[in-house]
Structure 1
Amino acid sequence: MTAESDRSGGCQCGAVRYRAKGELGYPHLCHCRMCQKAAGNYFMPLAGVMRSDFTFTRGTPKWFQSSDLVRRGFCGDCGTPLFYDIPETDFINLTLGSLDNPDAVKPVMQSNTSQKMSWFHALDGLPLEPEPETPDRENAIAASNHQHPDHDTKSWPLGESS
């Protein structure tokens, strides 16, 4: 379990926000093909929170029933994957990348590693891009950023009522 008293998170556009209190259980990386497809990535980082410690603070997700047992929650506006849910359980899994501070939760396990990318071991050997973004480009991106900040806001986009 990963303890922190209060964690917030949400989607990229800010339409769906949540708060999780208490411990996050079993923070892990799932490599199954279903999680790969749902994340649009090579794996999905997840951790569970008790439903009694979980609330939506803005909006509601859309749900896709990915199997007879599991549904996946995502933002209907921007598409951010947010939840892996087994409805009859007393917990819901959060996607760790949707947390406002994802670096605070270190995975403790990997699952479904038979479907893990065979070349992951070589990632640290890849060359690094030699130069960061140019200051002009970084400033232009910052000035036109539409991504919700990594903290709760009273309204979003800024200036609109909740």
Structure 2
Amino acid sequence: MTIHTGGCQCGAIRFHVEGVLEDSSICHCRMCQKAFGAYYAPLVSVRSVRFEWTRGEPKRFQSSDVVRRGFCAECGTPLTYEAPDGMAIAAGAFDDPSAFPPSIQWGIEKKIGFVDSLHTLPAVATEEDLTTVDYLVNLTSYQHPDHDTPEWPEKKS
């Protein structure tokens, strides 16, 4: 059985998926742009697999008469797109988002023109960026790690 896990940035919400996930997409519609605060929304359908929330559950916003969108009320991470035909999870919320290359784009009438040329921009690794300003040199991340934990935040011994 194929197993995938994921959750929000702060760790208040975690999920577990059992099954093969084959329906991954990008949506460019204006509603998805606003819900994700991004140029598009990468989504992975969990309609045909076993899905469960293992820690917490999203708060939901009714973004239209038929769609609800789930997000973490603690850190704001976008998590779900919930429609009458099933639910999709934000691809970036999975512990390994690289496992879900998109196979289709939706809402292309609102696709922002420069999205197709993003790969041509100069690229800088995170490690290089950390040395560009003093306040990043000793950066401490409070982000939940990309794996399940018994509790979060972890108790200090």
The TM-score with structure 1 as length reference comes to 0.85
Number of equivalenced pairs: 153
**Other-structure match for 1:115:** 110
Residue deviations 1:9-64, cap 9 Å, x none? 10000001001110224201000000000000000001111376000100111000
The answer to whether the 8 A contact 1:51-1:92 is kept is no
Percent sequence identity over aligned pairs: 45
**Other-structure match for 1:103:** 98
**Other-structure match for 2:66:** 69
**Other-structure match for 1:140:** 138
The answer to whether the 8 A contact 2:17-2:49 is kept is no
The answer to whether the 8 A contact 1:48-1:93 is kept is yes
Alignment match of 1:151 (pick from 136, 139, 147): 147
- Give 1:111 deviation, angstroms: 0.8
Evaluate the alpha carbon distance shift between residue 106 and residue 129 of structure 1 in structure 2; reply closer, same or farther with a 3 A threshold: closer
The answer to whether the 8 A contact 1:47-1:94 is kept is yes
Which consecutive unaligned segments of at least 5 residues does structure 1 have?
none
Once residues 77 and 113 of structure 2 are traced to their aligned partners in structure 1, the CA distance between those partners, rounded to angstroms, is 26
The answer to whether the 8 A contact 2:44-2:91 is kept is yes
Alignment match of 1:44 (pick from 23, 34, 41): 41
3-state SS of paired residue (2:9)? coil
Larger fraction in strand: 1
Evaluate the alpha carbon distance shift between residue 29 and residue 159 of structure 1 in structure 2; reply closer, same or farther with a 3 A threshold: same
3-state SS of paired residue (2:16)? strand
- Give 1:140 deviation, angstroms: 1.4
The answer to whether the 8 A contact 1:66-1:72 is kept is yes
The TM-score with structure 2 as length reference comes to 0.88
Matched to 2:153, the amino acid is P
Once residues 106 and 52 of structure 1 are traced to their aligned partners in structure 2, the CA distance between those partners, rounded to angstroms, is 18
Once residues 60 and 76 of structure 1 are traced to their aligned partners in structure 2, the CA distance between those partners, rounded to angstroms, is 9
RMSD over aligned CA atoms reads 2.2
Once residues 52 and 46 of structure 1 are traced to their aligned partners in structure 2, the CA distance between those partners, rounded to angstroms, is 15
Once residues 39 and 67 of structure 1 are traced to their aligned partners in structure 2, the CA distance between those partners, rounded to angstroms, is 15
Alignment match of 1:93 (pick from 88, 92, 95): 88
- Give 1:121 deviation, angstroms: 2.7
Once residues 29 and 80 of structure 2 are traced to their aligned partners in structure 1, the CA distance between those partners, rounded to angstroms, is 15
